[in-house]
């Protein structure tokens, strides 16, 4: 980063920022296996940028419910040829790397990655140390772990839930990064819809979004909303059987809803 800290400000000056999701996994919940080959990944990257993505978010380890943890070396083997292809094409937007492994993150930064997106919220000491020393951009997501994976409770539990626990977890995440001396301007916070939450808690968390910046003392522009193709959207629409690839209209409507509340950054599988 040329000795200076990453700043999200310039990327947010032209309106909402869409991070185009580029899954390099064989088993992602949405489009696993479609973009593993470097040529296919490059084609999808170009489609996303042409459609308006201002950043690409690459992920090579699936975090879908029940997914097995991936060894860092295997994760890197999936990433390296795609990063090389994107570099050869000189993709004109910054790249974000969705990883929770410090060795993968470090190699990604050396290969031109500008942002680290950690679904475990930089809870691992090695990831937090890398965040401190690198100066790169950070996306830190609230989640609940279970062993090497993520806690995924039954999604259709009908008992009413409140958002307080998830909001406190997001507050704790914020405090962890601030306590490490990391500049707030480098950081986007992600509420983590579906990560340890069922539908009722996701619904309460969604309804809390208008007041969340005030509750956390955190600017609305520095949140990242990752709701694209989530089962929350299908369940909320009364169509729980809708496949992920059929949820893009619901995703766009949710983005518009959040935009009206002032949110500006969205991870998305499709634009337009």
194 with 232: CB under 8 angstroms? yes
Q: Which residue, chain included where needed, has tokens 């690409």?
A: 56
C-alpha–C-alpha distance, residues 31 and 29, integer Å: 6
Active-site residue identified among 78, 100, 174, 267? 267
C-alpha–C-alpha distance, residues 261 and 245, integer Å: 26
C-alpha–C-alpha distance, residues 92 and 9, integer Å: 18
The yes-or-no answer on residue 47 being catalytic is: no
Active-site residue identified among 100, 106, 222, 230? 230
268 with 251: CB under 8 angstroms? yes
The yes-or-no answer on residue 230 being catalytic is: yes
C-alpha–C-alpha distance, residues 262 and 207, integer Å: 14
Helix, strand or coil for residue 18?
A: strand
Q: How far apart are the first and last CA of the chain?
A: 32
Residues marked as catalytic:
230, 267
């Amino acid at each position: 980063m040329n000795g200076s800290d990453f700043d999200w400000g310039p990327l947010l000056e032209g309106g909402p920022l869409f991070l185009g999701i580029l899954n390099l996994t064989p088993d992602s919940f949405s489009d696993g296996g479609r973009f593993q080959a470097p040529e296919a990944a490059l084609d999808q990257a170009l489609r996303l940028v042409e459609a308006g993505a201002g950043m690409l978010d690459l992920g090579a380890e699936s975090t879908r419910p029940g997914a097995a943890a991936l060894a860092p070396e295997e994760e890197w083997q999936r990433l390296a040829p795609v990063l090389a292809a994107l570099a050869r094409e000189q993709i004109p937007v910054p790249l974000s790397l969705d990883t929770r492994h410090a060795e993968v993150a470090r190699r990604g930064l050396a290969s031109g990655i500008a942002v680290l997106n950690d679904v475990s919220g930089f809870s691992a000491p090695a990831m937090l140390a890398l965040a401190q020393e690198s100066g790169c951009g950070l996306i830190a997501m609230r989640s609940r772990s279970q062993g090497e994976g993520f806690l995924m409770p039954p999604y259709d539990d009908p008992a009413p839930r409140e958002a307080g626990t998830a909001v406190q977890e997001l507050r704790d995440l914020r405090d962890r990064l601030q306590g490490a001396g990391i500049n707030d301007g480098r950081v986007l916070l992600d509420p983590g819809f579906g990560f340890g939450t069922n539908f009722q808690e996701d619904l309460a968390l969604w309804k809390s979004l208008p007041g969340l910046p005030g509750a956390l003392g955190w600017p609305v522009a520095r949140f990242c909303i990752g709701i694209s193709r989530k089962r929350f959207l299908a369940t909320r629409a009364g169509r729980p059987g809708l496949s992920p690839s059929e949820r893009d209209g619901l995703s766009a409507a949710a983005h518009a809803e959040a935009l009206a509340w002032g949110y500006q950054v969205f991870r998305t599988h499709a634009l337009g």
